Structure 1
């Protein structure tokens, strides 16, 4: 998905996924949809050390990533 980034702002645009159900376990598609919804809500970010926090428009951390060594 395309995104826009500046010093504190983050916007993820046109997040899309296939409609075909995954061949994996039950609930995987629901998890994917929930993740994509959170990604769409991104309005900002913070990086501290090896971690990235994605923040929504209300200032809540909605996604959290840790770098692998």
Structure 2
């Protein structure tokens, strides 16, 4: 695990939410993955009453698993 607090939080987010995200992708698209090759990401600052928030949007091409 990394020592940098920001990077550590990204590891934490993926560790906690990856199974849920996988299930949601499979529910919406079927059995497959989100590509990290054909991939886009955006980061934005969002105003909030309790302080600024970070919005990160990930967009990857869906790739269905092939049956051999």
Query: TM (normalized to structure 1)?
Result: 0.30
With a CA cutoff of 8 Å and minimum separation of 6, indicate the structure with the bigger relative contact order: 2
Query: TM (normalized to structure 2)?
Result: 0.30
More helix by share: 2
Larger Rg: 2
